[in-house]
């Protein structure tokens, strides 16, 4: 059996097999968090430009954009997939170094709306997308992440699997959907080493590409079933010949969707442990930003490679700058969307504090990545006091999760200013109550 076939047999089984209620609850949490990322992203510049580029595919079709505009299924997946990654507040599966929600849920909702699927079928599709794509991402591993943006590459399997389930593909059709999706996998890390709009587009393209692969498979389109493990396949071409059987071993026993990280800060996840550590020291020792002489952040190497920008000049660059977000946390007590305003970017005092932040690689933390995302933060004050703490995990990680209440607060903070409090409350009630009796047409910003 080829690896695509093994994943497909599992995915097609999720169409009607028993799923524990706690797993459905975690899927609802993922959808709530996705929506909290979607709505602020839907009014960002990259989403506006993408809608203008795709105007011929809007105002008709059975799917809906975030704020209610009708769209073709593919356009909705592409635009919502982009919007839900644009604000950098979407979820993470840390072992795959991957944001599963943006590509997976965007494709699932677009197709579910077109098919008039119910809430339970939609959740099953989300679960299938998460379980298959996170395992493929975990297999591709850290070697893949050296050059590739996993949300663009691995994300195609999340959207393909979700769409394949909603289309009720047979196991062989499901396998061909995954095989075709593999050839669409793309997204280079170089695309966000400087200011650009490419990064969120990776997620949107993954949502659209996986959806297309599944819709093609439903019409009999075939792919190369050995595309993952073959001699010239994705595993060898884009990683270091991964162990596929290892990640398949627990697929009938463990649900990865129950181990997702929900972001507590509006920036790159690699910056979270430094932010959390700096805030903990500040609170514990009563340190004011003006008292800081020096800050040393020691963490794992990929965090510095991706988020080590010492002098960001734009909001996009600042989200990938440990010096910027740590200085912001110490000055303002949090790193929310307002942290990346033009006013904050031009703040002379913030820039001065940034210059006091030093970055270093900790060998132990580097060896533990990606399973652990830790940092050591040292703060030296002007009066000669030095305090230090290890932040072994991140607030929002599975071992320090956001509660349902905290997740709802995140939703309210991000969605309310765009939709208004009454509409936000209506949407959140619908999301938390998704089940076999739910309809999906009302899950957008307008009535």
pLDDT at 194: 87
> pLDDT, tens digit, for every residue of 362-407?
999 999 999 999 999 999 999 999 999 999 999 999 999 999 999 9
pLDDT at 363: 98
Q: 130, exposed or middle or buried, with CB in 10 Å at 0-12, 13-18, 19+?
A: buried
Q: Which of 295, 270, 272 has its CA nearest to residue 282?
A: 295
Q: HEC string of 23-87?
A: HHHHHHHHHHHHHHHHHHHHCCHHHHHHHHHCHHHEEEEEEECCCCCEECHHHHHHHHHHHHHHC
Two tokens at 99? 């944001």
φ/ψ of 234, rounded to 5, equals: -60, -40
pLDDT at 86: 97
Handedness of CA 275, 398, 134, 125 (dihedral sign): negative
Q: Check if the beta carbon of residue 88 is closer than 8 Å to that of residue 189.
A: no
pLDDT at 447: 62
The stretches in the chain having pLDDT less than 50 are: none
357-361: strand order across its sheet:
357-361, 292-299, 375-381, 386-391
The DSSP bridge pattern shows strands 292-299 and 357-361 to be parallel
| pTM for this entry | 0.95
CA 357 to CA 379: how far, in whole Å?
Answer: 9
């Amino acid at each position: 059996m080829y690896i695509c076939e093994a994943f497909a047999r599992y995915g097609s089984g999720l169409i009607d097999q028993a799923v524990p209620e706690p797993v459905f609850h975690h899927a609802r949490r993922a959808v709530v968090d996705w929506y909290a990322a979607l709505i602020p992203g839907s009014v960002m510049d990259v989403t506006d430009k993408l809608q203008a580029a795709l105007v011929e595919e809007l105002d008709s079709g059975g799917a809906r954009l975030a704020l209610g505009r009708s769209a073709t299924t593919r356009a909705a997946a592409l635009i919502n997939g982009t919007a839900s990654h644009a604000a950098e507040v979407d979820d993470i599966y840390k072992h795959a170094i991957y944001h599963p929600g943006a590509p997976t849920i965007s494709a699932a909702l677009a197709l579910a709306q077109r098919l008039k699927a119910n809430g339970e079928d939609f959740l099953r599709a989300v679960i299938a997308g998460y379980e298959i794509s996170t395992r493929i991402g975990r297999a591709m591993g850290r070697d893949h992440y050296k050059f590739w943006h996993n949300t663009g590459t691995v994300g195609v399997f999340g959207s393909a699997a979700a769409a394949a389930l909603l289309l009720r593909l047979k196991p062989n059709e499901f396998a061909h959907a995954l095989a075709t999706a593999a050839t669409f996998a793309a997204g280079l890390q170089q695309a966000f080493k400087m200011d650009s709009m490419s990064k969120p587009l990776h997620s949107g393209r993954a949502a659209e590409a996986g959806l297309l692969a599944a819709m093609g498979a439903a019409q009999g389109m075939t792919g190369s079933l050995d595309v993952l493990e073959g001699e010239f396949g994705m595993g060898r071409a884009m990683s270091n010949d991964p162990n596929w059987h290892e990640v398949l071993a627990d697929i009938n026993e463990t649900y990865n969707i129950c181990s997702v990280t929900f972001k507590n800060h509006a920036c790159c996840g690699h910056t979270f442990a430094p932010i959390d550590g700096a805030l903990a020291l500040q609170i514990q020792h009563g340190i004011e930003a003006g008292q800081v002489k020096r800050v040393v952040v020691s963490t794992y190497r990929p965090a510095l490679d991706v988020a080590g920008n010492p002098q960001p000049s734009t909001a996009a660059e600042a989200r990938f700058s440990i010096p910027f977000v740590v200085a912001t946390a110490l000055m303002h007590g949090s790193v929310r969307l307002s942290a990346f305003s033009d006013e904050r970017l031009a703040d002379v005092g913030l820039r001065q504090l940034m210059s006091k932040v030093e970055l270093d690689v900790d060998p132990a933390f580097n060896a533990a990545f990606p399973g652990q995302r830790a940092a050591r933060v040292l703060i030296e004050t002007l009066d000669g006091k030095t305090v230090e703490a290890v932040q072994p995990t991140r607030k929002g990680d599975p071992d320090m999760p956001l509660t349902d209440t905290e997740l709802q607060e995140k939703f309210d903070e991000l969605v309310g200013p765009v939709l208004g409090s009454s509409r936000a409350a209506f949407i959140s009630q619908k999301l938390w109550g998704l089940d076999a009796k739910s309809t999906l047409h009302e899950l957008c910003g307008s009535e």
